[in-house]
Amino acid sequence: MGQSVVQKIIARAAGRETVEPGEYVTVTPDYTCCQDISWPARKRIMEQAGVTRLAHPEKLVLVVDHTTAAGMGSAYHRNHGEMRDFAEKHGANYFGPGSGLRHQVLVEQGFARPGTLVFSDEPNIASIGVVGALNIAISTEVVVTSVLNENWMVVPRPIRFTLTGRLAEGVHIRDLAQAIIRDYAETDLLSQGCIEYGGDGVAGLSLDERQTLLACTYHAGPDTALMPVDEAALAYARSRADGRPFEVFEADADAEYAYEASFDLGALEPLVTVPPELHTVSPVGEVAGLRIDQAAIGTCANGRMDDLRAAAAILRGRRIASHVTFYVTPGSREIYAQAGREGLLSILAEAGATILAPGCTTCWGYEGVLNDGEVSISTHQMNYHGRNGSRLARAYLASPITVAASALAGAIVDPRGDPALRRDAA
C-alpha cells in the first residue's frame, strides 16, 4: 500500500521508509514553536527538571503573539522578558511583540518548508501546510522536543478533501472553512486525521486563501492539514528557505485514505457562524439585518494581505457606521508593512478602522472587549460566550468580505450586493 503525504513526512522524521496510520513512532522534529502565554509554565518545568541546555536551541522558535503589548497591571511584560532572556541565553529564535502570529512567522521566516515537521502548542498552526510543512500540536511536551530533540507521536489517519470550481464574487474561502466545520465538527469522521487538500480548485486559490482554510480546519475535528506544494507554493518556499534544505512529498498513486470528500467552491455562499457554537453556521441571509456594535478583521485565519485587500476594496472612500467600532489586525509585521506600502492601512483608517499591532489581539479577547448585550462580527476563530468579554455579548464569525460590508452597514449584511465587488468596479 502506498504512502500519503503525511505518512511520508512523518516517516522521514522517524528515519523510516514507511509508517502506518495509528502507529506510535518516535520522531525528530525540525522545529518546536511556542507562544508567550504558555511559555513561562514550560520554562518552569525545565527549571524543575534541572535542564541547563537544549539539544538544538536553533530548532526552538519563541514568538510573542498573544500579548502584543504589556498593559499596566498585567503580568505579560514578565512573560516577554522571560522569553527574550531564555532565547538569548540558549541561542533560540525569538520574535518579540509586534512580530506577528507564529503561524505566519514560521512561514515568512522559512522555518516551515516542504516536508518539515513542526511541533507547536496550537493546532491552528496547520496553516504552515501551505508550503507542505506538517504541524503537530502538543502541549507541555514541547519541553521534551526542546530538551531531547525527539518525541513520540501517533501517525494521523490520511483524509482526502478535493476542491473543484472557483469562488464566486462576495464569497471567500473562509466560507468553505465554516461549511466544513458545520458539516463535520459534531462527527468523528475527521478525528485523529490529517486532511490533505487537492483538486483543480486549489490552483485557483492564493497562498493566503489556502492558509485561511488550513488554519480553520482543526475546528472540524482533524489533528492537522496540508496543501499540495504546487509551483506557487514551491516558489514561495524557495524564496524564504535561505539555503536551508527541504523535500517535497507527493502521495503515492495507491495511497489509501480513511475518508474522502469533494467540495465545489462555486456552490458556496456567504456564511455566518452563530454564537455560541462553531458548528452553528447559517447562510448570511438568515441573520442579515442584525445590528452590530463591533467588527474585527485579523487572526490566524484572516489577517493576511488578501484579507486586507478585500476589506479595503469595500471600504475605499467610504465610512463605517457611526455606532460600530472596527478593528483590523495585520497578521505579521511584514504584512503590516506591505499593507502600508499598498495604501491599505490608510484606506481602512480613513474608513474608521483602528489598526492594531500584529498578533492575536481581539481574537482571544486581549483587546476589543465586548460589553453586556453587544454584538460583534469578526474573522475570529472562536465565538463561545465570554471569549471576547462579557458572557452576555454575542460574537458572530464570518469572512473578511462579510465583516467589512457589515461594518459599513452597521448590521450583518450579504456582501454580494455591494457594488465594490463587481469585477468591473474601479
Confidence of residue 424 (pLDDT cuts 50, 70, 90): very low
Proportion of the chain above pLDDT 70, given as a percent: 98
CATH topology of domain 5-264: Aconitase; domain 3 (3.30.499)
Q: How far apart are CA 48 and CA 100, in angstroms?
A: 30
pLDDT 10s digits, 349-402: 999 999 999 999 999 888 899 999 999 999 999 999 999 999 999 999 999 999
Q: What is the 3-class SS of the chain, one letter each residue?
A: CECCHHHHHHHHHHCCCCCCCCCEEEECCCEEEEECCCHHHHHHHHHHCCCCCCCCHHHEEEECCCCCCCCCCCCHHHHHHHHHHHHHHHCCEEECCCCECHHHHHHHCCCCCCCCEEEECCHHHHHHHHHCCEEEECCCCHHHHHHHCCEEEECCEEEEEEEECCCCCCCCHHHHHHHHHHHHCCCCCCCCEEEEEECHHHHCCCHHHHHHHHHHHHHHCCCEEECCCCHHHHHHHHHHHCCCCCCCCCCCCCECCCEEEEEEHHHCCCEEECCCCCCCEEEHHHCCCCECCEEEECHHHHCCHHHHHHHHHHHCCCCCCCCCEEEECCCEHHHHHHHHHCCHHHHHHHCCEEECCCCCHHHHCCCCCECCCCEEEECCCCCCCCCCECCCCEEEECCHHHHHHHHHHCECCCHHHCHHHCCCCC
pLDDT 10s digits, 130-183: 999 999 999 888 889 989 999 999 999 999 999 999 999 999 999 999 999 999
pLDDT number for residue 38: 87
Q: Is the domain 272-421 a CATH 3.40.50.720 member?
A: no
**333, three cell numbers:** 509585521
Confidence of residue 39 (pLDDT cuts 50, 70, 90): confident
How do the domains of the chain map onto residue ranges? 5-264, 272-421
pLDDT 10s digits, 65-120: 998 877 666 778 888 888 999 999 999 999 999 999 999 999 999 999 999 999 99
Confidence of residue 425 (pLDDT cuts 50, 70, 90): very low
- Say whether 272-421 and 5-264 share the same fold: yes
- Average pLDDT over the chain, rounded to whole? 95
